[in-house]
Structure 1
């Protein structure tokens, strides 16, 4: 028996009915599934799909509690892959969709159409063809690949950061102007002190014209042990979101639906390392890739002009949050009244603070047209306090906008210059994207075309 359920079993002893504690637990669990249930009482009309009465024994309640608890724990062991697939919509089909990792030095690569003739490696990717770069470069003085001029073996952290930003500038040739880079980097202890490499990198990138849109903290749910006795074990790393153009592709709406329950979830990502990491020393989690792709890689792009398709969002007047009892009541009052959608538009126009008593106690209210203000006042009179529910209807996706080239779109392209075991490549490909990468040691990469996220 789990510690969490011990208290519940104590309440069950000697009782014939469901305890208040179990009723509360079940109510909260079922609410998480999108349904409100009151045990042993009639349901309102919004829950017609549920039985009119939920009769359940203490033993059955305990089993349901444990079953649902195990279900939610299982859901939290891996990234929400199916949720990402759903929010991304229909990614275009593409015959012979690319997936590969080329053996190359990521600091010395250039596009196939660059026309350059130097000692660099010409990839099979064209310039401006990459929509998103997700990568984790070798950390300073951590691993020696036995290759001349490799990144990570510089004598000083300053030289390491210079070489890393030079590589970043090289990758810009591949990146579409509306593309993004998500770069994972860790710090290093040297002579008892943290070096501060992430901060050095961000400053150097800014000096070279990159915009650092976010400094994300990867807070690790698990991590490697440390023999250190005089400091805390590091349990976080750094992820920088960088762009060149202010008009970059970004889907905060889709990301928030998956990772933020509809709200902006912030810049701390709590993630665990993946299991079964294979031969690579330290692959980052597939959830990191899922997050970056959901935020910054368009599901569809034009193969002719490269323009990404962007989500179109609207706020339908009656699209209220059905998880809120107040919203349900507000909708019911509206449908039973003689109010029209023009009244709801007026509510949206005036907001919460521009109606009723607010006009008497606040300055600069009542600035809308008389007709709009009159409609809002009428709605306030009918709806009472439920008036405010219609000031913030939920946004919803109504479509995706693209260019005017009139050609079939193709999936966005994800690129990882330091592919390692292929976490970025396989995760992006499993979602339906094009995926390409490079690495000095290609032996750790194995393309997993169908069941990577199973």
Structure 2
């Protein structure tokens, strides 16, 4: 039998730091079906190799930590900690109104916007910071409600109606707001219809900016009787914005769901256990992710501007959950190295010496001096030198608006198709205001886990 591919051994070496009583690959020979030999690389050797290939090391480390530490075990407390700066309120808005999401208009809409074909709700225009929703899928379920979206005979009519509804919601959304729409596909006459792609094109034609087509990958799902195709195990989450100056907190999101690295556009989530009457609630984690990414924790009610995170990158703010980083800090603290040495490490680590003088602080600094400092640091730190080339970003504070007496409130999340109230529940657990509409509010009213949110 062939020995393990070197790349696989490298990955096992990195995995080993998270396993008890594992020092090197020899302790993991059960993974290689007895093909381990004395010539196989040890964990320290692999580590030194990765030190010389920082991009590979960074990618491997980020991917593995995401999978090992942040797959399916993120708690509501983790998400709260990652967000921060949410004003404390004794009472939060949490309302679901009976209304057709395709025809809603704001409470303060002008007379020309109100007609027999519209429904005026208690939500004001330009008041929503984030919309998270999952409209009925085309020809999937008949909720036996008049004028429901999803039962159109033609898929193009369904897309037209959905985009018309999206334009209605635009009136509620602040300029910095985002929309996350969970949408699935449908088989018709043995063929996939391509609903998500059709919707994306139609939204673009309606002057929406499509920022991401996120794939919701799930291990569980509805069984299928089909014998001539694979069972669908993914859906789409389309992220839309009104303009390119929208609120987005990748730092907070990455700390909650990616341990500081960008987790990417594939969200691994399974359905929550459904004890309510609604047939197709999406998982709470979907709402958690969207809210963490795109709903500002604090918004001035006078000017409508959100407070945004101010980030800074320290010299020695390393990820101490990694043994290598912890050892690097220990060596630095025991040495005579200075912060100038750390600046030199970062300069040399991210650019060639010719550009280092642009990064090095202090008058009269030059590339030769920077390289000299970096060499001194490398001599002391050895292979741990590279640990200081990518310190973590930290939160230095939050921006403030220019109002004389700002009135800050938590952001407001709106779900036009509220269903059983998953978005409402999650938003309130994360200490945000929330609002919802639905043609049938009975599922929300009967959901006992939402009892404390109901008026």
TM-score (norm 1): 0.78
Question: SS where residue 235 of structure 2 aligns?
Answer: strand
Of 376, 384, 399, the residue aligned with 1:382 is: 376
| Post-superposition offset of 1:341 | 2.1
Give the drift of 1:96.
3.5
SS class of match (1:345): helix
Larger displacement relative to structure 2 (290-299 or 382-391): 382-391
**C-alpha distance 328-113 of structure 1, shift in aligned 2 (>3 A):** same
Matches within 5 A, 1:49-68: none
1: CA distance, partners of 2:304 / 2:275: 34
- Report the equivalent of 2:77: 82
Report the alpha carbon displacement of residue 426 of structure 1 after superposing the two structures with TM: 0.9
Q: CA deviation at 1:24?
A: 8.7
Task: Extract unaligned runs of 5+ from structure 1.
Answer: 1-21, 30-71, 356-363
Structure 1 residues 169 and 28, CA gap change in structure 2 (3 angstroms): farther
Kindly report the root-mean-square deviation, in angstroms, between the aligned alpha carbons of the 2 structures.
2.8
The whole-number CA distance in structure 1 between the counterparts of 2:22 and 2:172 is: 49
1:407 corresponds to: 406
- 1:113-154 CA deviation, whole Å, 9 max, x = no partner? 122331211111111111110000011122334444321121
**What's the secondary structure of 1:351's corresponding residue?**
helix
Per the TM alignment, residue 85 of structure 1 is displaced from its structure 2 partner at its CA by: 1.2
Q: Residue 443 of structure 1 corresponds to which residue in structure 2?
A: 442
The aligned counterpart of 2:329 is: 331
The 5-angstrom pairing of residues 137-216 of structure 1 reads 137-216=135-214
1:72-151, aligned counterparts within 5 Å? 79-115=74-110, 116-119=113-116, 120-151=118-149
Mapping of residues 353-364 of structure 1, within 5 Å: 353-355=351-353
Match of 2:285 among 279, 287, 290: 287
Structure 2: distance between partners of 1:111 and 1:451: 26
Alignment length (residue pairs):
381
Is the 1:131–1:180 Cα contact (8 Å) retained in structure 2? yes
Distance 1:108-1:318 versus aligned 2 partners, 3 A rule: same
- In structure 2, how many angstroms separate the alpha carbons of the residues matched to 1:259 and 1:156? 39
Q: Structure 2 unaligned runs (5+)?
A: 1-15, 24-66
Shift of residue 75 of structure 1? 9.5
Query: 1:387-424 CA distances to partner (integer Å, 9 max, x unpaired)?
Result: 43322211111222121223241110000000011111
Partner of 1:371: 365
Shift in alpha-carbon separation, 1:188–1:276, aligned structure 2, 3 A: closer
Structure 1's 334 and 74: CA in aligned 2 closer, same or farther, altered over 3 A? closer
- Structure 2 counterpart SS, 1:445: helix
Partner of 1:218: 216
* TM-score of the pair, normalised by structure 2: 0.77
1:239 shift after superposition: 0.6
Encode CA deviations 1:299-324: one digit per residue, 9 max, x unaligned.
Answer: 11111111111111111112122234
Decide whether aligned partners of structure 1 residues 77 and 329 sit closer, same or farther in structure 2, where only a CA change above 3 A counts.
closer
Q: 1:276 to 1:155 in 2, by over 3 A?
A: closer
